[in-house]
Structures are given as structure tokens and as C-alpha cells.
């Protein structure tokens, strides 16, 4: 019975890791669509968001099944409950990629981004992809030190977000209010994507050690 239960937990962890790959790919494609005003790619991200939602539902169903049928205690209970929170964070990461894609679609055929802020979003997209890749790794390996290190890896995203805001507040900004609103919201989407990745990393530490790290 214990071996079957552990197999089910391992399967659940694998599904969550697969979700992290899905949301990372979604943000990668959404960023490319944003930078290139690519409507077709934006539509692809929008259409595929349902797969992330379905993956979360499947993870939650499996987790609740373990709670109902196995009555886990102590560390096992901690792991099952935490996976429900992880699935929620991952779905929200997918939603943020969706918001980026929808912004591209809403402004098409016009580009959303002024040329002078495109480098920021290119780097923010790269940072989001890196975080997703690292998250996938620590979820598969349950690497506590790797998860703790990931907590600090969103500093790059925070720095980019702050610099982006300073550009918009500069007297040299000449793109108007509408562009400023779009850029502000988009920057926030990327920042929140990184925040959720850190939240998942903290959950991994909690699952393994029983202690939730503090910021």
C-alpha cells in the first residue's frame, strides 16, 4: 500500500513539473508574440491556456483522491496539501502569459510596445523562461538548495521592472498615456509571473523540510 501511495505522489509531482514547462512555454511564446506583434502566435497561447487549466484540475483531482482514499498524515499530508497550492500558482503563471497574449491581440495590427522598451521585455521574457526552467528542475529533484536559490533569482525581474517604470516616468517619454498603461500592465504581468515561481519554490522547501522559508 505504501509503495502505491508513493507512486501516486511521484506521479503528482511529475504532473506539476509538466505544468511548469507548459507555463514557461506559454510565456516564451507570448513574449515573442508581443515583441513581433504576431497575432497567430498570440492566438496559439490563448487557445492553449485551456490545457493549463485542465492540468491544474487533474492535479487537484489526484490530490483530493489521495486525501480521501489514503488519509495521509504528517509529511505526506503536507506534501499533498502543498501540491494543491502549487497547482494554483502554476495556473496563475499560465494566466499571466495569457494576459500578455491577449494584450497583443487587442492592439493588433499595431504593436503594443514602443521600440525603446522592447529590450526590457525581451530580457523579462528571458528571465521568465529561466525561472520556469529552474522551477521544473527543483520540482523534479526536490532540491531544497536549488529551490532556495531560485527565491533570489527573481531579483533580475524586479530590477527590470523598476527600470521600466523609470523609463515611463521620464520627461523623455513621448508615447502617450495609452502606451504607458499597456507597458505598466505588461510589466506587472511579468513581475507577478516571477513572484508565483518564487512561491512555488518556497512550497518545495516546505514539502521537503516542513519549514516555510521567510522572505
Q: Sorting pLDDT into bands at 50, 70 and 90, what band is 66?
A: confident
Query: Is 107 within 8 Å of 172 (Cβ atoms)?
Result: no
The pLDDT of 74-81, averaged and rounded, is 80
Q: How many domains does the chain have?
A: 1
Give the CATH number, domain containing residue 86: 1.20.58.220
Q: What are the residues whose beta carbons fall under 8 Å from the beta carbon of 67, sequence distance 6 or more?
A: 77, 80
Q: Is there a domain that residue 215 lies in? A: no
Residue 6 has pLDDT above 80, yes or no: no
Query: Is 49 within a domain?
Result: yes
- Does any domain span residue 214? no
Residue 152 lies in a domain: yes
In this predicted structure, what is the pLDDT of residue 183? 96
Confirm if 137 and 16 have CB atoms less than 8 A apart: no
Look at residue 153 in the predicted model and tell me its pLDDT. Answer: 81
Q: Which residue has the higher pLDDT, 42 or 10?
A: 42
Q: How many residues does the chain have?
A: 215
Kindly tell me if the per-residue pLDDT of 97 is higher than 60: yes
* Cβ proximity of 39 and 107 under 8 Å: no
Q: Between 2 and 17, where is the model more confident?
A: 17
Peptide bond into 109 cis (omega under 30): yes
> Average pLDDT, whole number, for the chain?
91
The answer to which of 88-92, 158-162, 190-194 has the lowest mean pLDDT is 158-162
| 3-state DSSP helix/strand/coil % of the chain, to nearest 5 | 85, 0, 15
1: pLDDT strictly greater than 60 = no
Look at residue 179 and tell me whether its pLDDT is greater than 60: yes
Q: DSSP characters for 108-125?
A: TTS-SS-GGGHHHHHHHH
What range defines the domain where residue 197 resides? Answer: 2-209
Assess if residue 48 is contained within a domain.
Answer: yes
Amino acid at each position: 500500500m505504501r509503495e502505491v501511495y508513493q507512486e501516486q505522489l511521484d506521479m503528482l509531482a511529475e504532473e506539476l513539473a509538466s505544468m511548469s514547462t507548459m507555463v514557461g512555454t506559454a510565456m516564451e511564446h507570448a513574449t515573442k508574440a508581443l515583441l513581433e506583434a504576431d497575432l497567430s502566435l498570440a492566438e496559439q497561447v490563448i487557445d492553449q491556456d485551456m490545457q493549463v487549466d485542465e492540468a491544474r484540475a487533474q492535479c487537484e483531482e489526484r490530490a483530493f483522491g489521495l486525501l480521501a482514499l489514503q488519509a495521509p498524515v504528517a509529511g505526506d499530508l503536507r506534501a499533498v496539501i502543498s501540491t494543491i497550492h502549487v497547482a494554483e500558482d502554476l495556473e496563475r503563471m499560465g494566466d499571466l502569459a495569457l494576459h500578455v497574449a491577449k494584450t497583443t491581440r487587442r492592439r493588433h495590427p499595431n504593436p503594443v510596445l514602443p521600440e525603446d522598451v522592447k529590450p526590457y521585455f525581451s530580457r523579462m521574457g528571458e528571465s521568465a523562461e529561466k525561472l520556469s526552467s529552474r522551477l521544473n528542475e527543483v520540482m523534479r529533484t526536490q532540491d531544497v538548495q536549488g529551490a532556495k536559490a531560485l527565491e533570489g533569482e527573481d531579483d533580475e525581474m524586479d530590477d527590470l521592472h523598476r527600470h521600466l517604470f523609470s523609463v515611463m516616468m521620464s520627461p523623455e517619454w513621448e508615447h502617450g498615456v495609452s502606451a504607458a498603461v499597456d507597458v505598466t500592465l505588461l510589466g506587472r504581468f511579468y513581475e507577478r509571473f516571477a513572484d508565483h515561481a518564487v512561491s512555488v519554490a518556497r512550497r518545495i522547501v516546505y514539502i521537503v523540510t516542513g519549514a516555510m522559508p521567510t522572505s
